[in-house]
């Protein structure tokens, strides 16, 4: 069997495409990871600032957060808490260097340690750290926060 020059060009093009495709996919996953890292940081800032509009924009309508004690919270719960300022935050920030983003196609998971400090609407002070995982899905409306899980509060760190 002989291959024509156009057939050789097609084979060469297919080979180049096969070699480049993983690099393009990796670049896309890296770009997605950077975007999701920034989006989750924006979400944490929105919670800290009781910014109901940003919380509503980032979360999917059917979003669910499972807390360490098994309770759940929905998008509407988050939005209502922000609107009614159920918590006033001094801190609601990821500890630097703890955020990890993993991307698998149209799904991404952010894991980080979160420091929360403030007062409740009735004046009760709180301060603790916890680990969380936030799952994002690429939708026709862009990346949306679809599911989260938060640990129980971590033991207090020893004073050094």
CATH of the domain at 98: 3.10.450.50
The confidence score (pLDDT) of residue 19 equals 45
pLDDT of 16 above 50: no
Give the separation between CA 160 and CA 135, rounded to whole angstroms: 35
Residue 46 lies in a domain: yes
pTM of the model: 0.81
The pLDDT, as a whole number, for residue 27 is: 62
* Chain center to CA of 57: 13
Share of the chain above pLDDT 90, in %: 79
What is the predicted pLDDT for the residue at 26?
61
What contacts 65, CB < 8 A, 6 or more positions away?
Answer: 72, 73, 74, 78, 147, 148, 149, 150
- Please report whether residue 159 resides in a domain: no
The reply to whether 157 falls in a domain is: no
Asked if residue 75 belongs to a domain, the reply is yes
* Residue 53 in domain: yes
- Mean of pLDDT values over 60-67: 98
Tokens 């990346």 locate to 143
Expressed as residue numbers, the domain containing 19 is 5-150
- The pLDDT > 70 percentage for the chain reads 82
Tokens of 120: 């409740």
Domain count for the chain, please give it: 1
With helix as H, strand as E and coil as C, how does the chain read? CCCCHHHHHHHHHHHHHHHHHHHHHHHHHHHHHHHHHHHHHHHHHHHHCCCHHHHHHHEEEEEEEECCCCCEEEHHHHHHHHHCCCEEEEEEEECCCCCEEEEECCEEEEEEEEEEEEEECCCCEEEEEEEEEEEEEEECCEEEEEEEEECCCCCCCCCC
Q: How confident is the model at residue 158, as a pLDDT?
A: 73
Residue 158 lies in a domain: no
- Quick one: tokens of 26? 């990796």
In whole numbers, what is the pLDDT of the chain averaged over residues?
89
35 within domain boundaries: yes
């Amino acid at each position: 069997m002989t291959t024509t020059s156009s057939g050789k060009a097609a084979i060469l093009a297919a080979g180049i495409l096969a070699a480049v495709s993983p690099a393009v996919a990796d670049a896309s996953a890296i770009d997605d990871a950077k975007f999701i890292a920034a989006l989750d940081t924006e979400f944490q800032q929105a919670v800290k600032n009781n910014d109901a509009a940003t919380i509503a924009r980032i979360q999917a309508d059917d979003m669910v957060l499972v807390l360490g004690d098994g309770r759940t919270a929905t998008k509407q719960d988050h939005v209502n808490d922000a609107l009614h300022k159920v918590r006033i935050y001094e801190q609601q920030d990821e500890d630097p260097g703890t955020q990890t983003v993993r991307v698998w196609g149209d799904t991404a998971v952010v894991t980080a340690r979160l420091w929360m400090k403030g007062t409740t609407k009735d004046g009760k002070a709180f301060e603790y750290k916890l680990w969380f995982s936030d799952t994002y899905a690429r939708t026709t409306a862009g990346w949306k926060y679809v599911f989260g899980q938060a640990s129980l509060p971590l033991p207090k760190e020893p004073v050094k």
